[in-house]
Amino acid sequence: MSGTLAIAGLGPGSEAMITPQVRAALDAATDVLGYIPYVARVAPRPGLVLHPSDNRVERERAADALDLAAQGRRVVLVSSGDPGVFAMAAAVFEVLESGPQAWDDVAIEVLPGITAMLAAAARAGAPLGHDFCAINLSDNLKPWDMIARRLRLAAEADFAMALYNPRSRARPDGLARALELLRTCCGPQRPTLFARAVSTPQEDLRIVSLAQAVPEMADMRTVVIVGSSQTRIVARAAGPLLYTPRSAGGVLA
Ligand code: SAH
């Protein structure tokens, strides 16, 4: 008897940003798997087995989730934000492609969540109001040269950029290199948002220019948004607003 696997996004941190669809899947689950701090966001209850696991064991975690579902359990695999953005959904499909036949009958569903860049953008205004891209600055799974090339080309194409995984203890220098490259390509005045722990009690937002941006403004709970050439900072009594107008290239709104 095959069970189900829901790969679910818990959003950026706040309870209020968990979708009703994800809430319903968690309420119906027999097993919840995920990275330790994310599983800690799921309340224990009778009939629910929590399986927290360490970072960097994504493939093993994905295989465990598929095994449990193949045994008939109702499994939810949790990610922060959206599970399809630098997270567990792709990890599941990576192991599924070469997995055992027992996984064939598992019903798999991906349940979206609010990804960090959207939560951060909403708190600051609308910096992603025109064309943008998202780049993962971690070089765990891709070479640094590829990251640098993507940053350069994104700057050339004048995208606003959301930079995920900007900094960790294992990679203290990448963000400094990325900021240096962006200062060269975009100039020192480009508006930049450092958004930390958005929607949690530790939330901290800073809007600076690229010239003022230093790596110490980010940690592993920070998403960085670098504006396009059109992105503007508007001073307001309640604090600065960051937004990118909907038109570009001389077309009038
Ligand atoms: N699947 C997640 C991203 C996982 S990668 C999502 O869709 O949001 C982890 C990175 O996400 C962190 O290094 C940070 O850049 C970003 N992030 C996750 N939660 C965040 C939050 N509450 N505030 C700011 N950035 C966050």
- Residue 72 CA to ligand 1 center (angstroms) comes to 31
Q: How far is the CA of 41 from the centre of ligand 1 (A)?
A: 15
**Ligand 1 midpoint to CA 71 (Å):** 32
- φ, ψ of residue 55 to 5 degrees: the values are -65, 160
222 touches ligand 1 (CB under 6 Å): yes
Residue 198 near ligand 1, beta carbon < 6 Å: yes
Per-residue pLDDT of the chain (253 residues; tens, 9 = 90+): 689 999 999 999 999 999 999 999 999 999 999 999 999 999 999 999 999 999 889 999 999 999 999 999 999 999 999 999 999 999 999 999 999 999 999 999 999 999 999 999 999 999 999 999 999 999 888 999 999 999 999 999 999 999 999 997 787 789 999 999 999 999 999 999 999 999 999 999 999 999 999 999 999 999 999 999 999 999 999 999 999 999 888 887 7
Q: How far is it, in rounded angstroms, from Cα 60 to Cα 186?
A: 41
Could you tell me the distance, in angstroms and rounded to a whole number, from the CA of residue 79 to the centre of ligand 1?
10
- CB under 8 Å to 60, separation ≥6 — which residues? 53
Ligand 1, atom 9, residue with closest C-alpha: 165
Does residue 138's CB lie within 6 angstroms of at least one atom of ligand 1? no
Is the distance from the beta carbon of residue 58 to the nearest atom of ligand 1 less than 6 Å? no
56 conformational bin, left if phi > 0, alpha if psi -120 to 50, beta if neither: left
From residue 21, give the alpha-carbon distance in Å to each of 83, 109, 111, 135: 14, 11, 7, 27
Task: Please state the pTM of the whole predicted model.
Answer: 0.96
Task: Report the separation in Å between the CA atom of 126 and the middle of ligand 1, taken as the mean of its atom positions.
Answer: 18
Cβ neighbours for 238, distance < 8 A, ≥ 6 positions apart: none
For residue 192 and ligand 1, the question of a CB distance below 6 A is answered with no
Give the integer Cα–Cα distance in Å for 184 and 90.
33
Ligand 1 center from residue 113 Cα (angstroms):
11
3-state SS string for the chain: CCCEEEEEECECCCHHHCCHHHHHHHHHCCEEEEEHHHHCCCCCCCCCEEEEECCCCHHHHHHHHHHHHHCCCEEEEEECECCCCCCHHHHHHHHHHCCCHHHCCCEEEEECCCCHHHHHHHHHEECCCCCEEEEECCCCCCCHHHHHHHHHHHHHCCCEEEEECCCECCECCHHHHHHHHHHHHHCCCCEEEEEECCCCCCCEEEEEECCCCCHHHCCCCEEEEECCCCCEEECCCCCCEEECCCCCCCCCC
- Indicate whether residue 85 lines ligand 1 (CB < 6 A): yes
> Residue for token digits 């948002």?
193
In sign, the C-alpha dihedral spanning 118, 124, 129, 132 is negative
